[in-house]
Amino acid sequence: MSASLRPDIDGVTDALIGFINTQIMAPGRSITPTDSFEGAGIDSMALLKILLYVETEFGIWIPDEDQVDEHIANARTLAEYLCRRASAA
Amino acid sequence: MPTGERGVAGDGGVNAAATRRSLALRGTDVVVLAMNAGSGAAARTTPNAALVVECDGVIDAARVADALGRFLTACPWLAARLRRPFPWGMLQWRIPRVPEPPPIRSETIAVGDIAALRAQIEAELNTPFVPARQAPVRFRIVRQQGSGAETRSVFILTWFHPLMDPRGAENLVDWLAAIDAGGGSLPTAAQLVAPPDTRPLRTRGPLAVQCGHHLKTLLGAPPASFARGLPAIGPQRIHVASFTDADGGESRSPLRRGEFTGRLAVVGAAVARLAARRGRPDAAFVVPVSVDLRPKGDAGPVIGNYLSFHFAHFTSRDATTPATLATHLRSQLADALRTNQIDANAVGMDILRYRPVRWFFPRMPWTAGTDLCSFNAADTGAFTPAARPLFGRTVLNGYHVPGVPRLPGLGVFFNRCGDVQNGVVVWCEGVVTTEEAVSLLDAVAADLAWRPRSAA
């Protein structure tokens, strides 16, 4: 079920981190909001799972042209991007 | 009689748990072999894969051999994995009670003799394993001797692909390095073997049906393949080229980011152009994309192809530009994840292990031949130089060279080692020419804005 996205960067970051650490990362290999996705071993397939989670949870699909390092470097930058999108909507 | 579900006997009591644990044999192993088996000429294919590591200096073969011997003594899973029946018969590695490490062969060539190095790697790909009599892994160290003290070494780990996937091979090297360093405990079975899917059949059954339905409806006609209909298909050849990323990792477009659908799109567009030059401007392509099921952040299992598949499919019309094709493929992959197709494919492949291999082909929509796809492509990962202590030298580069089935007889693979981007084309002689293989990598490099670093 989709939830409307409020521009709450901390809340969105927490939600993203919760999903990533339970669904993507190996047990005992949790990441923090500013840990690099690439450095944590998140490959393109795992990143796509994160984007699908964002779509399901927040109703936002990130278009190809926005899938750049600036937006998807880590959970925090992704949350900031999503909140900007929500504010602009 | 084989012990089948039991671990290999005679581990000397070092790891008793290993002898009791059931062996996980994933369905992707069946697929790997089925894609390589076929019939007739295709049956002579060698499902080998190689990991090549270039080092600055002389690699100490004795250290590698010693680490492998200790690894096998503690965890003889390399042998045990093959001591069970496959759907089409027995692959029995008749080992002594304590597995004997395979010998590490050494050769010397001149520094810079690219042709000689390429020949060594091709020999590894084309020399079949006989699992009934041999270890399913081989080690070769190629010393490149120059004038004076100038020496480099290339370490080649070759394995029988049903044994493990490329990530597993890297994990094996990491384990050998850890054992060599003596700082860690020996691995246990649970750390080494891909875990079985424990979901009940009532859950997995419908997923397998979904997989079968998907395969039947994927494409209405046989996929375009350069190998189809060739009277003779020769041994495997390779072309390897190394590049640097021009923008040094700055914010990049989706096509240039290290995202696999973007890379597959670049390869797909190049292959489509090649098909057009050969008089097939409206071809349809299918490419199996392996999906690593390991949780991230941990090395994960060594033994077993811990993979699922996504079957990317497109036509020449979708491939007018790499960017267009990337969007198409990315959307397709997102849909596959949304509909749980990746999981269904993993389960479908897994259930194949209960079936004879002849069951496999009629499940495909293109049953007239045995080429199941148009070409192979994979991002075989980022080789990290963590094994330096094992080799005793600085790791300069590392890349995978997976073998390709005679049908379709063509594969393009991406590897990264530090700042080096490696492109590898593997083909069977007759399927494409050397010039065409080189042009494929040239096109890939141009589309990704890679600058040549060196060529091998």
Q: Read off the pLDDT band of B338 (50, 70, 90).
A: very high
Measured between CA atoms, the residue of chain A closest to residue B262 is A44
> Is B312 in contact with B219 (CB distance < 8 Å)?
no
> Is B92 in contact with B132 (CB distance < 8 Å)?
yes
CA atoms B313, B326, B52, B382: torsion sign: negative
Interchain pair A45, B291: CB under 8 A:
yes
In this prediction, residues B220-242 reach a mean pLDDT of: 88
Measured between CA atoms, the residue of chain A closest to residue B329 is A64
Q: Which residues of B touch A49 (CB under 8 A)?
A: 337
Q: Which residues of B touch A24 (CB under 8 A)?
A: 295-296
Q: Which of B16, B28, B22, B17 is nearest to B4 (CA)?
A: B22
**Candidate from A26, A51, A65 with C-beta closest to B296:** A26
Between the CA of residue B224 and those of A35, B11, B90, B219, B274, what are the distances in Å? 43, 49, 33, 11, 12
B299 vs A15, higher pLDDT:
A15
Residue B37 pLDDT exceeds 70: no
* Residue A60 confidence (pLDDT): 93
In this prediction, residues B14-18 reach a mean pLDDT of: 35
Between the CA of residue B162 and those of B20, B27, B31, B135, B262, what are the distances in Å? 22, 10, 9, 13, 28
How many domains are there within chain A? 1
Between the CA of residue B207 and those of B217, B306, B347, what are the distances in Å? 15, 18, 6
Residue B98 pLDDT exceeds 60: no
Q: Read off the pLDDT band of B11 (50, 70, 90).
A: very low
Interchain pair A31, B257: CB under 8 A:
no
Would residue A36 count as lying in a domain?
A: yes
* Residue B150 confidence (pLDDT): 73
Identify the domain containing residue A64 by its residue range.
9-88
Would residue A45 count as lying in a domain?
A: yes
In this prediction the ipTM stands at: 0.88
Q: Which of B411, B35, B419 is nearest to B239 (CA)?
A: B411
Would residue A50 count as lying in a domain?
A: yes
pLDDT in tens, B350-361: 877 666 556 655
* Residue B280 confidence (pLDDT): 92
CATH assignment of the domain containing A16 = 1.10.1200.10
Q: How large a percentage of chain A has pLDDT more than 90?
A: 70
Interchain pair A38, B258: CB under 8 A:
yes
Q: Read off the pLDDT band of B4 (50, 70, 90).
A: very low
Partners of B157 in beta bridges: B51, B139
Would residue A46 count as lying in a domain?
A: yes
Residues of B within an 8 Å Cβ radius of A: 249-254, 257-261, 291-292, 294-298, 300, 326-327, 330, 333-334, 337-338, 379
Residue A1 pLDDT exceeds 80: no
B84 vs B396, higher pLDDT:
B396
Q: How large a percentage of chain B has pLDDT more than 90?
A: 38
Q: What is the pTM of this model?
A: 0.87
Interchain pair A65, B254: CB under 8 A:
yes
Residue B265 pLDDT exceeds 90: yes
* Residue B21 confidence (pLDDT): 41
Would residue A31 count as lying in a domain?
A: yes
Would residue A4 count as lying in a domain?
A: no
B286 vs B37, higher pLDDT:
B286
* Residue B48 confidence (pLDDT): 92
Interchain pair A68, B338: CB under 8 A:
no
pLDDT in tens, B381-397: 778 777 777 887 788 89
In this prediction, residues B92-121 reach a mean pLDDT of: 81
Chain A, chain B: beta-carbon pairs less than 8 Å apart: 69
- Most confident region among A21-25, B280-284, B363-367 by mean pLDDT: A21-25
Q: How large a percentage of chain B has pLDDT more than 70?
A: 75
Would residue A1 count as lying in a domain?
A: no
Q: How many residues does chain B have?
A: 456
Q: How large a percentage of chain A has pLDDT more than 70?
A: 92
Between the CA of residue B257 and those of A14, A33, B250, B447, what are the distances in Å? 26, 21, 9, 12
**Candidate from A27, A42, A70 with C-beta closest to B251:** A70
Measured between CA atoms, the residue of chain A closest to residue B253 is A68
Q: Read off the pLDDT band of A5 (50, 70, 90).
A: low
Would residue A83 count as lying in a domain?
A: yes
Interchain pair B253, A65: CB under 8 A:
yes
B361 CB-contact burial (10 Å; exposed 0-12 / middle 13-18 / buried 19+): middle
* Residue B256 confidence (pLDDT): 63
B45-54, B71-80, B416-425: segment of lowest average pLDDT = B71-80
**Candidate from B253, B296, B333 with C-beta closest to A68:** B253
Return d(Cα B427, Cα B301) in angstroms, integer: 29
SS3 string, chain B, reads CCCCCCCCCCCCCCCHHHHHCCCCCCHHHHHHHHHHHCCHHHHHCCCEEEEEEEEECCCCHHHHHHHHHHHHHHCCHHHHCCCEEECCEEECCCCCCCCCCCCEEEEEEECCCHHHHHHHHHHHHHCCCCCCCCCCEEEEEEEEECCCCCEEEEEEEEEEHHHECHHHHHHHHHHHHHHHHCCCCCCCHHHHECCCCCCCHHHHHHHHHHHHHHHHHCCCCCCCCCCCCCCCCCCEEEEEEEEEECCCCCCCCCCCCCCHHHHHHHHHHHHHHHHHHCCCCCCEEEEEEEEECCCECCCCCCEECCEEEEEEEEEHHHHCCHHHHHHHHHHHHHHHHHCCHHHHHHHHHHHHHHCCHHHCHHHCCCCCCCCCCCCEEEEEEECCHHHHHHHCCEEEEEEEEECCCCCCCEEEEEEEECCEEEEEEEEEECCECHHHHHHHHHHHHHHCCEEEEEEC
Mean pLDDT of chain B: 80
Q: Read off the pLDDT band of A56 (50, 70, 90).
A: very high
Residue B3 pLDDT exceeds 70: no
pLDDT in tens, B108-167: 999 889 999 999 999 999 998 877 667 788 999 999 988 777 788 999 999 988 788 999
Q: Read off the pLDDT band of B285 (50, 70, 90).
A: very high
Residue B42 pLDDT exceeds 50: no
Backbone φ and ψ for B157, nearest 5 degrees, come out as -100, 120
Residue B34 pLDDT exceeds 70: no
Mean pLDDT of chain A: 90
